[in-house]
Amino acid sequence: MERFYTTTAIDYVNGAPHIGHAYEKILTDVIYRHFSQRCEDAYFLTGTDEHGIKIQKTSAAQGITPKELCDINAQKFQDCWKALDVNYSQFIRTTDKEHEEVVQKIFKKLVDKGDIYKNSYTGLYCSGCEAFLSEKDLTEDGLCPDHLKKPEVVSEENYFFKLTKYKDAIIKHIKTHPDFIVPAFRANEVLNQLENIEDISVSRAKSNVSWGIPVLGDDEQVIYVWIDALSNYITALGYNPDGESGEKFNKYWPATVQVIGKDILKFHSIYWIAILMALELPLPEHILAHGWITIDQTKMSKSLGNVISPESILKAFNLEHPDALRYYMASAAPCGKDGNYSDEDFKEKVNAHIANSMGNLLNRTLSMLVKYFDGDIKPEFKVQSELFDKALETVKAVKHHFDYFEVQEASQKIIELVDITNKYVTDNAPWTLAKEGQMDKCGEVLTNVLEVMCVISSLIYPFCPNIAQAMAEQLSYDLSIKLDDLSCNNLKPGHLIDKEDIKPVFLRMDSELADKGKGK
């Protein structure tokens, strides 16, 4: 794999980021970091969606301009991703001048091509979704199923995109590319939505929505979200609809995987694909639709007061870095399914997997190496073992799961390897071997375990970059080794570590040291 390009949905900035936003960004960052270990050139785009009626109304209610609101909240998202070590390559804002100018050119190109036309329209508009809904989209009570509010009847003269023109081509693409929509069971859902698809409004009357990108040559209209927000995936790369696109666009497009929530799959697998077809651009290789995160098995809701800030979790548990939360969130749900967050489950899972199983395994093995061999790796210790075979099998299994964006499943394989290695230590009892004077055998067992811990540090890195780095430092291991080059031949004969340099890579979240300073 020469290059890898991944994107997230861009977040709407009428509020601050919550744990649902964090789930998508952490999930994407883990995928990005994994593939960075497999290819030479990876790129990760995220950003914020900053136009529309909700921004206009929220800013007015707060007595500030729409741009001021966008600036305040876009910074909150960037600060949150920094706190979570989300290592994106580029952060795009749809109020960026470069983005706005290219969006206007895209709109004009599609008008000139005849794929965008002007027409009068009366429809049901949900301001929460910022979308027109049909009767079949509503609940039995005539409410938006996501916001449980009755949409308003809106009559406007708008520009429309000929979505129906590309219906058959989209159906054909989905059917001939079974791995296009991930997970595969979502494909039938999209095909069903395509059956009664209609042309879509791609502008709003300025008299109703003033906060938007103006349509070139028509001062009464602003460009709507489908052309504006969705285009960020290519405008960020320097796409030019009027001529030669930038180097980044030529290098990275089409996207390898676009990560979105299941609630906006229709917009990405139908609307976005049709727009790309109209622009005669290659389509993304995969669209990954993840599930939602519930809180204590209940859907997040402002009215219920259960909307959680990811930064508040880091603070509540006094975590010095976000690895525990990253691991928990990334492994929260099978591919495409819903996941759940609870404080108790978070603490129990992270303590069991990261502190007890993985961290303690490294700590006690290094401690025995110091106790019995003064921290030295002797040349005669190294032997090939079944444990090595299992470690390299795990590397293949983890790569396979990531190929299908099965992040939780990949994490399970890593922890399985940790458990197998712990069992190897118990079965071979190096403390007993030392007591019996079988020092070469004792050294071989410890060396085998530490070799596998090098592999584990590489595999866990996308989930827990700080913990992986701490492990690698104690093992004198190079984390930059590509996954295709991983072996169980990493430790060099000689002195590895001193007693004072052995430190827990992650403290149990209920330990005295981890809790120190809480409540102060």
**pTM for the predicted model, two decimal places:** 0.93
Q: Is 39 a catalytic residue?
A: no
Higher-confidence position of 147 and 71: 71
Q: Is 268 a catalytic residue?
A: no
Q: Is 147 a catalytic residue?
A: yes
| Catalytic residue (one of 70, 80, 129, 454) | 129
pLDDT higher than threshold 50 for residue 185: yes
Higher-confidence position of 516 and 312: 312
pLDDT higher than threshold 90 for residue 149: no
Q: State the Cα–Cα distance between residues 287 and 293, nearest whole angstrom.
A: 19
Q: What pLDDT is recorded for position 214?
A: 97
| Catalytic residue (one of 21, 99, 286, 353) | 21
pLDDT higher than threshold 60 for residue 511: no
Kindly state whether residue 49 falls inside one of the protein's structural domains.
no
| Catalytic residue (one of 25, 80, 99, 144) | 144
Q: State the Cα–Cα distance between residues 102 and 238, nearest whole angstrom.
A: 9
Residue 141 pLDDT level (bands cut at 50, 70, 90): confident
Domain residues for 376? 343-515
Kindly state whether residue 315 falls inside one of the protein's structural domains.
no
Q: Is 144 a catalytic residue?
A: yes
CATH number of the domain enclosing 494: 1.10.730.10
Q: What pLDDT is recorded for position 514?
A: 43
Q: What pLDDT is recorded for position 517?
A: 39
Kindly state whether residue 229 falls inside one of the protein's structural domains.
no
Angle, CA 491 vertex, CA 487 and CA 494 arms, to 5°: 160
Kindly state whether residue 464 falls inside one of the protein's structural domains.
yes
Kindly state whether residue 444 falls inside one of the protein's structural domains.
yes
- Tell me the angle at which helices 360-373 and 465-475 cross, rounded to the nearest 10 degrees: 10
Q: Are 68 and 30 in contact (CB under 8 A)?
A: no
Q: What pLDDT is recorded for position 140?
A: 81
Question: What string of H, E and C letters represents the secondary structure of 308-340?
Answer: CCHHHHHHHCCCCCCHHHHHHHHCCCCCCCCEE
Q: Is 488 a catalytic residue?
A: no
Kindly state whether residue 506 falls inside one of the protein's structural domains.
yes
Domain count of the chain? 1
Identify which of 231, 242, 199, 205 has the alpha carbon closest to the alpha carbon of residue 220: 205
Residue 518 pLDDT level (bands cut at 50, 70, 90): very low
Q: Is 401 a catalytic residue?
A: no
Q: Is 99 a catalytic residue?
A: no
Kindly state whether residue 446 falls inside one of the protein's structural domains.
yes
Residue 513 pLDDT level (bands cut at 50, 70, 90): very low
Q: Is 21 a catalytic residue?
A: yes
| Catalytic residue (one of 67, 172, 177, 299) | 299
The least confident of 47-56, 89-98, 374-383, 480-489 is 374-383
| Catalytic residue (one of 70, 80, 126, 454) | 126
How much of the chain exceeds pLDDT 90, in percent? 85
Kindly state whether residue 400 falls inside one of the protein's structural domains.
yes
